[in-house]
Amino acid sequence: MSILVVLLPARDRAAAADGEPRDAIEYAYLLSADGLSVARQGRASAALLPKADTVVAWLGPTDVSWHRITLPKAPASKLRAALVGLVEEQLLDDEQAVHLALAPQASPGSATWVAAVHKRWLARHLEQLDKAGAFVERVVPALWPDDPPTAHFYAASDSADGSSAQTWLAFSDANGVRCARMAGSWVRDHLAAWARQGARWSAAPAVAAQAERWLGTAVAVRTDADHALSAVRSLWNLRQFDLAARARGTRWLREFGKRLFSPGWRPVRLGLLSLVLLQLVGMNLWALQQRHEIERRKQAMVALLKAAHPQIGTIVDAPLQMRRATDTLRASAGRVGDADLEAVLAAATQAWPDGQAPVQSLRFETGKLTLVVSAWTADQIERFRARLRSAGWSVEAVEGRLVLSRSNGTQRSAT
């Protein structure tokens, strides 16, 4: 699984807008296929960063401060507020301007480390990268409190244009992480004491010779890429609390899309495409068969109508014309149809409640009989409706009137 490590540039504390990243900023990056070696590195804007399965942001040592606390026993929703209460006196910025993150595997009631980062600055970098399609899953620090002690010399600049670079030393041990310029005397005063602690010395290639002169001994040369990959292999992740990685569903879809269009999934893509094409062909063949069947049935109805009623000339709607012609023949023969008054009265007579007086008045329209029954009780109306329902009639009660009509789909033509 490929890993893209984006090295966030050090925050410019002298710049306006709280040192927020510029829109046109270029990021140093490295691409690794296994997290152990660098396959490619360079600089690019967020939109031109190479694609990878996992994206990790790396913070330089001067952008993270460290605070030792005893982790309180608090629910997850109130944990950040509890952390702020413990470290607020040590913070240089307002608590709302600081992002806090706990050390890996921290447990309530035990001593642990809290990392503090400028919140708006980090959030803007994450937002910029996310908009460009490089969704950062983890944020890792360059150094963290550790034992045995580790010291690293590197070159850094306090200005946004990268000029006037100075040599810095970042020292990490069980008491925290300290960063200072070598231009002052404080670091040089502590070099001998740190050496007696058995510190592991390293230096960036550009300042390795200078570091060896200061120490009077050889140092291991380690690039930012080496440091970054070492941090990636750690358990650290500073994306916590309100900066925690969101939209897991969207990220899952994005990752699935990456895998789906990777070379290894080419057989799957071909199989899915073949399945879709087969489905489309099958649906079209089924639709064609259904159209032929509908046309065949229409032709059969037309043939039946011509055979039964040869006097009909032009055929527009065979079922309707068949019904009308049949009704005409039935009426000519003197036979009662389902829509006639006799049929409706016969049905009403069979369902008439016992002991109920004859109807007061009635009105008949084709297929519909209205009876005025103001003296009926609700129970009598319900029994009347139930009896007629089984015979295929519907009864509607409206203000002392009962309206009888054939239920949908039950009309029949007598022959």
Q: Are residues 111 and 239 in the same domain?
A: yes
d(CA 229, CA 354) in angstroms, rounded, equals: 95
Q: Are residues 340 and 289 in the same domain?
A: no
The verdict on residue 412 lying in a domain is no
Per-residue pLDDT tens over the stretch 47-66: 999 998 889 999 999 899 99
The verdict on residue 362 lying in a domain is yes
Q: What is the mean pLDDT of residues 303-308?
A: 83
Domain end call among 246, 261, 276? 261
Domain end call among 229, 261, 293? 261
Q: Are residues 125 and 44 in the same domain?
A: yes
In this structure, what token pair is assigned to residue 305?
């109508």
The verdict on residue 250 lying in a domain is yes
Query: What is the domain-level CATH number for residue 386?
Result: 3.30.1360.100
Q: Are residues 85 and 11 in the same domain?
A: yes
pTM: 0.58
Query: What is the domain-level CATH number for residue 201?
Result: 3.30.420.380
Whether residue 145 contacts residue 174, with contact meaning beta carbons closer than 8 Å, is answered with: yes
The verdict on residue 114 lying in a domain is yes
The residue to which tokens 């879709």 are assigned? 276
Q: Are residues 72 and 142 in the same domain?
A: yes
Q: Give me the number of domains the chain comprises.
A: 3
Asked which of 7-21, 199-213, 316-330, 343-357 is least confident by mean pLDDT, the reply is 7-21
Q: Are residues 279 and 323 in the same domain?
A: yes
Q: Residue 155: beta bridge partners?
A: 167
Mean pLDDT of the chain: 83
Q: Are residues 308 and 345 in the same domain?
A: no
The verdict on residue 172 lying in a domain is yes
The verdict on residue 413 lying in a domain is no
Per-residue pLDDT tens over the stretch 113-166: 999 999 999 999 999 998 888 889 999 999 999 878 899 999 887 554 555 678
Q: Are residues 283 and 255 in the same domain?
A: no
Q: Are residues 232 and 280 in the same domain?
A: no
Q: Are residues 139 and 187 in the same domain?
A: yes
How many C-beta atoms surround the C-beta of residue 181 within 10 A? 13
Domain end call among 280, 305, 330? 330
SS3 per residue for the chain = CCEEEEECCCCCCCCCHHHCCCCCCEEEEEEECCCCCCCEEEEEEHHHCCCCCEEEEEECHHHCEEEEEECCCCCHHHHHHHHHHHHHHHCCCCHHHEEEEECCCCCCCCEEEEEEEEHHHHHHHHHHHHHCCCCCCEEEECCCCCCCCEEEEEEECCCCCCCCCEEEEEEEECCEEEEEECCCCHHHHHHHHHHHCCCEEEECHHHHHHHHHHHCCCCEECCHHHHHHHHHCCCCCCCCHHHCCCCHHHHHHHHHHHHHCCHHHHHHHHHHHHHHHHHHHHHHHHHHHHHHHHHHHHHHHHHHHHHHCCCCCCCCCHHHHHHHHHHHHHHHCCCCCCCCHHHHHHHHHHHCCCCCCCCCEEEEECCEEEEECCCCCHHHHHHHHHHHHHCCEEEEEECCEEEEEECCCCCCCCC
Q: Are residues 324 and 355 in the same domain?
A: no
The residue range of the domain holding 319 is 267-330
Please tell me which of 44-53, 162-171, 191-200, 264-273 the model is most confident about, judged by mean pLDDT.
44-53
The verdict on residue 147 lying in a domain is yes
Q: What is the mean pLDDT of residues 218-233?
A: 90
The verdict on residue 414 lying in a domain is no
Q: Are residues 372 and 229 in the same domain?
A: no
